[in-house]
Amino acid sequence: MSRRLDSLSGLASTAVAPSYDRTALKPGIIHLGPGAFFRAHAAPFTDDALAAQNGDWGIEVASLRTADVATHLNEQHGLYTMLVRDTAGTTARVIGSVLVAYVATRDRAKLLARLADPAIRIVSLTVTEKAYGLDPTTGGLDEKHPDIAADLKNPQEPRSAVGYIVAGLALRRRAGIAPFTPLSCDNLPSNGAVLKRLVLGFAERTDLELARWIEANVPFPSTMVDRITPASTEETYRDAERLTGRQDLAAIETEPFTQWVIEDHFAAGRPAWDAVGALMVKDVSPYEKMKLRMLNGAHSLLAYLGFLHGYEFIRDVMEDKALAALARRHMDVAAKTLDPVPGIDLDDYAGDLIARFANKAIAHRTYQIAMDGTQKLPQRLLEPASEIVAKGGRAGTYALAVAAWMRYALGIDRNGNAYELRDPRAGEIAERLSGVPRNGQAVSAALFALPGLFPAALTSNAAWTGTVAAALDILIRNETLPAEMIAAD
């Protein structure tokens, strides 16, 4: 076994190391949620920005839940390997922008003190949709979300991302320190505006003056983030060790493509992300909508249908000609719901997405993407579908995606094996489905009734719900959808 990746000395020549002086790097960012996506996206962007223009923008990260990633990162002084995989081969680059990692549940006092340090000017987050505490029926703060409920009772000892941001801002206000800029990097539409609504909702319930101060002083830029990043596997760690010559338990793997569009509205500066490919804009919403509806919408469609067909990875689904064609058609239909996106040809964008999904070097599990459906469906599928049917369109590919999600929600695959749904509303889904006859009509009716999930524009449209029920019926019988159904748009 080789030495751990705990320094940059003696790296194998097949690995690229940071070109800036890491020993002089001072912190400027705290990032909540250092999962694989952050390590493949914001951290390398910042690494590039440091190489281009230096600056005090080192990142301190905090895991809100599990300790493993933080432990491995600390054992490696923040260093880790990013593998970029393509059919031409795999490259390895050691990322240097992360300085230290905290585990919030263990290092709470320390993390709160760091949030109050004037040197910290940005608090970014990738915590996944379900961690925000967004109430699906009101769009406001979900007081029943377990972490939010705990934090509202005890705001000084937070557990949730929103709780930490509010507690950090409260400490700064009390100490007369300028605020940091919270920066959401999750796949939610208007993620900055959503975060602002939740932070204000939380502060209004705990400290009204703080809420007014936040409203007046804290910018919440929205962002669009994009890089396909499968969960790390043994193969990731093996290839990282082979290419760097060091053992690396924090290694991640990703695709060559990366994109970051950011509203350029920061309270106290930002790294030179724009110098290294990030697009700084006034309004990110056209980009976000495009990405959520064309990439993520098609991803969810392929994940559910692919999983039901027994395909393990998205690249396998893309080898199924009918499903690949369906994905492309879905993107074309989704594109028609969008306003023009500055500088982007949507036809080219769809073509590029198809090529990215088909990348044979990327093993992205359908089961990984299928996770958290109730949190993902609205912005990816249900909102665009309701816009389409409101204008008299069919939204047929959307009906198939929803039928596939509903079949998936039964939790039993075509061979009769049970699997875990991995959705925060899994318990509620199981309750609604208990005792319901397993046919398309009954199962779809039970799931259409989940509070706050399906817009009335869809559930009141008999033609659309009928298509869902018909497709679901076939999927429940574990039969293949007929060609004319898959070919409809």
Q: Output 165 or 261, the one with its CB closest to ligand CS2.
A: 261
- Which of 200, 228, 377, 446 is close enough to bind ligand CS2 by CB under 6 A? 228
- Which of 54, 90, 247, 368 is close enough to bind ligand CS2 by CB under 6 A? 368
CB of 405 to ligand CS2, least distance (A): 12
Whole-number Å distance between alpha carbons of 50 and 63? 23
Residue 369 sits in the site that holds ligand CS2 (CB under 6 A) = yes
Instruction: Give residues 95-124 in contact with ligand CS2 (rule: CB under 6 A).
Output: none
Whole-number Å distance between alpha carbons of 474 and 479? 5
Other beta carbons within 10 angstroms of residue 445's beta carbon come to: 16
Q: Interacting stretch for ligand CS2, rule CB under 6 A, among 88-96, 202-210, 220-228, 277-285?
A: 220-228
Residue 84 sits in the site that holds ligand CS2 (CB under 6 A) = no
Residue 358 sits in the site that holds ligand CS2 (CB under 6 A) = no
Q: Interacting stretch for ligand CS2, rule CB under 6 A, among 204-212, 222-230, 305-313, 333-341?
A: 222-230
CB of 368 to ligand CS2, least distance (A): 6
Whole-number Å distance between alpha carbons of 199 and 218? 11
CA angle (442 as vertex; 437, 447 as ends), nearest 5: 115
Residue 39 sits in the site that holds ligand CS2 (CB under 6 A) = no
Contact 241, 248 (CB under 8 A): yes
Helices (H), 91-246: 108-115, 146-153, 161-175, 191-206, 208-217, 234-244
The DSSP code for 186 is S
- Which of 60, 142, 186, 226 is close enough to bind ligand CS2 by CB under 6 A? 226
Other beta carbons within 10 angstroms of residue 279's beta carbon come to: 16
Spell out, one character per residue from 156 to 195, where the chain touches ligand CS2: x when CB under 6 A holds, - when not.
Answer: -------------------------------x--------
Q: Interacting stretch for ligand CS2, rule CB under 6 A, among 225-233, 264-272, 280-288, 340-348?
A: 225-233
Q: What is the DSSP string of 131-151?
A: GS-B-TTTSSB-TTSHHHHHH
Name which of 413, 410, 397, 471 is nearest 440 in CA terms: 471
CB of 462 to ligand CS2, least distance (A): 30
Residue 469 sits in the site that holds ligand CS2 (CB under 6 A) = no
* Crossing angle (nearest 10°) for helices 161-175 and 208-217: 90
CB of 418 to ligand CS2, least distance (A): 22
- Beta bridge partners, 141, equal 134
Residue 241 sits in the site that holds ligand CS2 (CB under 6 A) = no
Residue 227 sits in the site that holds ligand CS2 (CB under 6 A) = yes
Single-letter code of the amino acid located at 209: E
Contact 63, 159 (CB under 8 A): no
Instruction: Give residues 264-323 in contact with ligand CS2 (rule: CB under 6 A).
Output: 296, 299
Interacting residue ranges for ligand CS2, rule: CB under 6 A: 187, 226-228, 296, 299, 368-369, 376
